[in-house]
Structure 1
């Protein structure tokens, strides 16, 4: 991360980095929540690697630098999670984005999963999780906006190249592991584990599902950076 990006008072996603403008939600966030003052520096990004610094003036963005293009990361990491009770799914998504995960998949019902969404609830929850993804990407100064998709069937995800299932007794995480699949509080069923090409261990302790997602993401990012 460059010093100018790190030092910006805020980071926002815009539809056109050539002519950056704030939507109503971002105007409210910058003026009422962050309480930015005129002439503070804001980094504006299109979510696809292009960004520039701007001067924040009267709730508008005035370009203050040339556009910088940052290539998409060669190592794309994905974490797939099962919805859990309360707000812990939202917390997991927020932390996965901050940790540097590129793609987040929300799994549909698994054999031992407790939370089950019908079509209406799924649409509502996915929209909220997409907003959290964007907000967390702004906070952590991401230049490529992570994707969030779902609900997706476990069988579809586990069959993808580089997919591994987090399971006690599994091997250590490898640098070629690209998709980490995290189960519900009750774990995956024997039939689901049997579908995996490999299982990986997240340590000896029993973890909540959202904690497991963050631990798995951290291990993947650490190995992927080597």
Structure 2
């Protein structure tokens, strides 16, 4: 597993690791002076590192063999997921990272079975952020997906999301993704509904705002399956999955 660091943590050929990352290096991985460490800078450079000093509050890593590192998807795609019962979104977040999302936003839909107040969502938001940060280390990604604040369905078609191309997968849709016109150079907002699906009013509103309504196929999928299937389909069609 690699350590993701900011440019500010590197001085010349030395990287400094502190805080939770230091705890993980020393206590969880049980690394010692002289051990190798894989270092990836968020600016897009990967290094072979060697621990030269391991102090109480700081580790010093000597860096060698810096080379370009970029595994990010060419697509700027944000997953918009309706609030659902259990830990469905928590479980999906790791796979979203593996598949290259740039952001995750939860929203209240008409058929959502769970409603969050602000305080409860903020706690969940922090957990999700930790999950994606940990996942990015395992996936060797340099860009950590952003976990957005809680939205309503309506707000996804206004405010800061207006410039996003929107795709909604719906069980009653008949248009396959292959027939959807998307500019892969522009940001995409991919919407997946709750257990009961989107209401007819929500689909009508999305259509009025120019969203593409696409089919996932003839079978009805569980929400957890739909989360991943939707992203895989879009990344395969427009991005780098399977390329």
Counterparts of 1:21 and 1:207, CA distance in 2: 46
1:183-218: CA deviations, max 9, x gaps? Answer: 111111111111222211222222222221111111
Counterparts of 1:53 and 1:201, CA distance in 2: 45
Which of these residues, 196, 204, 211, is aligned with residue 186 of structure 1? 196
Structure 2 partner of 1:44: 40
Counterparts of 1:71 and 1:213, CA distance in 2: 22
Structure 1 partner of 2:82: 82
The DSSP-based 3-state class of the residue aligned with 2:39 is: strand
Gaps of 5+ in 1: 1-9
Counterparts of 2:113 and 2:212, CA distance in 1: 24
Matched, 1:97 2:97: yes
The DSSP-based 3-state class of the residue aligned with 2:123 is: helix
Task: Pick closer, same or farther for the CA change 1:36–1:172 going to 2, 3 Å.
Answer: farther
**Which of structures 1 and 2 has the bigger CA Rg?**
2
Structure 2 partner of 1:12: 3
Q: How much has 1:158 moved relative to structure 2?
A: 4.0
| TM-score in terms of structure 2 length | 0.78
Higher mean C-alpha deviation, range 122-131 or range 144-153: 144-153
8 A Cα contact 2:45 2:66, kept in partner: no
Q: How much has 1:151 moved relative to structure 2?
A: 0.7
Higher mean C-alpha deviation, range 131-140 or range 192-201: 192-201
Counterparts of 1:145 and 1:219, CA distance in 2: 22
Counterparts of 1:56 and 1:202, CA distance in 2: 49
1:121-142: CA deviations, max 9, x gaps? Answer: 1111111111111111111111
Runs of 4+ in 1 over 4 A off after TM superposition: 69-74
Gaps of 5+ in 2: none
| TM-score in terms of structure 1 length | 0.83
Task: Pick closer, same or farther for the CA change 1:21–1:115 going to 2, 3 Å.
Answer: farther
What is the RMSD computed on CA atoms of the aligned residues? 2.5
8 A Cα contact 1:21 1:61, kept in partner: yes
Structure 2 partner of 1:132: 131
Matched, 1:163 2:166: yes
Task: Pick closer, same or farther for the CA change 1:146–1:211 going to 2, 3 Å.
Answer: same
The DSSP-based 3-state class of the residue aligned with 2:148 is: strand
Counterparts of 2:50 and 2:100, CA distance in 1: 27
Aligned residues: 215
Task: Pick closer, same or farther for the CA change 1:208–1:23 going to 2, 3 Å.
Answer: farther
